Structure 1
Amino acid sequence: MARAAALPAEEGGKRNMAELLRALRGGQGTRSLTLTARGLHHLPRGLGNMQGLERLNVRNNRLRQLPQAMETLSRLKILNLGNNNFEEVPEQLKYLKSLQKLHLFGNKITRITPLIFDGLQNLVLLNLNNNQLSSLPPEIHRLGNLECVSLDHNQLKCIPKEFCYLQKLRELHLSHNSITVLPEEIKNLTKLKILILSRNQIDDLPDGLCSLEKLKVLDIAGNNIRIFPTAMEDLELEELYCENNPLLQKDPVNAIQEEDVLTLKELTARFILSQLENKNVSLHKAIKQNLDAQNILSRKQKCAQCGCGFLGMWLECVHFVDIRQTMKTSRNLELLPIRVLLCSYKCFNQRDHELFGIAVP
């Protein structure tokens, strides 16, 4: 790379032309072409004759668009367009039926036209790092073979719930964006192993995240997270990074406890839930015939202390879990704050538990 930069302009131009001519003469027999850091504004017209091309690397140039001839490269598997001047994902890419890896990092891309999702059915890797994307089209779920998506250093505020139906996704990189919330549908990414969410603006992680049984690496460093979902302990993580979050600390403070005053709706819900738990057959049949009641009771919670069900009035507590022996973590992180819900102060005041109330700043 350094030697190429040091060549005189005339000598570098001759070398570029010679390499292009050799590749073009090869025609359909040429399988790989590399034209990196050549100052190219356009790709050669003869590119369309290289129909046997499988790998094309034209990163570090000045390309803004692709020639129509790209549509004929039906055998192309790897395409690197990184560090150019594209402002949107080129529509011609939808014709590349064999493409498996697409690199578009370091451009000026602000939008992705949904039209490209009509093709690219064999794409397994998509790299759009260091662009200017503020949103993703829901149609991205059509790329059903994607296994790795990297969108670091963009301007994303959220990801569409449709994104979470990429059933084969194993790696998702979303660091250095402006994401504030993750969809509950993230639970559908059942093959996800690596999830990088560092340096965003996330306040809470969805409960659905704890359903990802294959997740091994989670990086949520540099967000606004204070406490983790209740089922966080169920994840068999190998690496967890969460430095620079305002995590709850195990610091005793004095607090004033209020008496539990339950609403009539809450009292009724708790009675019904207890009867259902005790196998009240008549009540169970009645509930099955009432859709409104089913919808209301589907939002039930379970007290972590007594095990009884409740609906909308609960006490949020925290349980600190020692994770030092189970996974690689951020430096100095020993106790992980996990959210726990209790049905009453009566349960909170029971002895012999390691639950703590949350102090409001």
Structure 2
Amino acid sequence: MADTLLIRALKGQPKQVTLCNKNLEKIPKAIGKLDCICQLQLKNNKIRKLPKELSHLYQLQVLNLGNNSLEEFSPVLQHLHSLEKLHLFGNNISHIDGNMLNGFRCLTFLNLNGNQLKTLPQEICNLVSIQHLSMDNNQLTELPIEFCALTTLEEFHAAGNKLTSLPLEIGYLISLEKLYLQRNKIRELPEGLGKCYRLRYIDVAANELRIFPTELASMPLKELHCEENPLLQNMPVHSVQEEEVLSLKELVARFVMKELKDRWSHMRRAIRFYPDLRTMLAQSSKCAVCGDSFLNTWLECVKFVDARSDLKLTSMSGKIPVRALLCSYKCFNAAGHNYYGVAFP
């Protein structure tokens, strides 16, 4: 039946061919003769393997192989250099060979929902045009650092996986607008998330979060979903603080960073010759109370911001715990701020 449909299609030089819900176990080899088509719909079949003739579809832009029985990210796919949208949801793919991701220069949309993936290859960064990447309901436990090189990525879905953290370099996803990570096991969001200045939608419901990154309040969010997380509660208790003793390294680092604020300081000129020192100081933090820089986190606190009045969110209400870093107990004990120390039961 499928062969008959393809033979008929050959006469009309179609731009789109649809063979969905045909109970196909394989794609007819005659498909290779339809080198004029731009869209091929093959979802809801029983296809296990892709024929090499599929690689002849040089003009193919959209390929839908959702809800089939594929067990691999087929090598045939890397020859479809014009491909822009690829649907592989609802298959049995458990591994992606990184070498298979080298030919997708035009790919903007990739749907791998509902497969058996446990890892992503480092070569994921070769998807240089990707805008929408969806990995819902797989078995991912982590994302490679190379994932953060996807500077064109606008929307990322990874709900229903086994992620416990995100790469610290996530701030390099400068085009990211929507992030969906619900139903994972994420314990902490990286501070770099605040550098995703286009991020508008975050869904981290049903994770293991207790606190949010420091820059959450300055992000232009429209929606934040964080229900079913063990978020810190605003329940003040008495605490006793001891005078801290800073290390020599910390004292020197604070002195240098203070000197660097003076445009006439000799330190500003001298530091150019110490690239390792500059790299180390680039990892510094700024005290939420006094504004001075410090090298190592000395005191982690929390500020409770109102979802509606502070974050301007209409999707939720109530207080949200946001991390704040203080440089000393002196600042912590200063009057006039609303930062709380974090107490663990």
Give TM class, smaller chain: over 0.9
Aligned AA for 1:74?
Y
Mapped to 1, the partners of 2:7 and 2:221 lie a distance apart of 50
How far residue 165 of structure 1 moved from its aligned partner, in angstroms, is: 1.6
Q: Specify which of 232, 247, 272 is matched with residue 288 of structure 1.
A: 272
CA distance in 2, matches of 1:42, 1:301: 57
Distance in 1 of aligned mates of 2:260 and 2:128: 41
Give the TM-score, by structure 1 length.
Answer: 0.89
Preserved CA contact (<8 Å) 1:31 1:53: yes
Could you say which residue in structure 1 is the equivalent of 2:179? 195
Residue identity opposite 1:47 in structure 2? I
Query: Is the partner of 1:339 in helix, strand or coil?
Result: strand
Q: Secondary structure of 1:48's partner? A: helix
Cα offset, 1:129, TM superposition: 0.1
Structure 1: which amino acid aligns with 2:61?
K
| Unmatched 5+ stretches in structure 1 | 1-16
Bigger CA drift: 32-41 or 315-324?
32-41
CA RMSD of aligned residues (A): 1.8
Contact 2:6/2:30 (8 A) holds in 1: no
Q: Which moved more, 1:43-52 or 1:150-159?
A: 43-52
The one of 41, 66, 78 equivalent to 1:57 is 41
Structure-2 residue corresponding to 1:223:
207
1:1-361 alignment, distance < 5 Å: 17=1, 20-27=3-10, 29-279=13-263, 281-312=265-296, 314-325=298-309, 326-330=312-316, 333-361=317-345
Flag as ranges the 4+ runs of structure 1 deviating above 6 A.
none
Q: Distance in 2 between matches of 1:197 and 1:33?
A: 34
Instruction: Give yes or no for contact 1:240–1:328 (8 Å, CA) kept in 2.
Output: no
Distance 1:167 1:288 in 2: 29
Indicate conservation of the 8 Å contact 1:160/1:183, yes or no: yes
AA partner of residue 84 (structure 1) = N
Distance in 2, matches of 1:22 and 1:39, equals 14
Amino acid at match of 2:81: K
Q: State the distance in 1 between where 2:302 and 2:211 align.
A: 8
Distance 2:114 2:51 in 1: 24
* 8 Å Cα contact 1:141/1:163 also seen in 2: yes
CA contact 2:305–2:320 (8 Å) conserved in 1: yes
User: Please, which runs of 5 or more residues in structure 2 have no aligned partner?
Assistant: none
Q: Which TM-score applies when normalising by structure 2?
A: 0.93
2:182 & 2:192 partners in 1: Cα distance? Answer: 19
Asked whether the 8 Å contact 2:285–2:297 carries over to 1, the reply is no
CA distance in 2, matches of 1:80, 1:48: 16
Distance 1:292 1:114, change over 3 A: closer
Q: 1:76 to 1:297 in 2, by over 3 A?
A: closer
Partner SS for 1:294: helix
Identity %, equivalent residues: 44
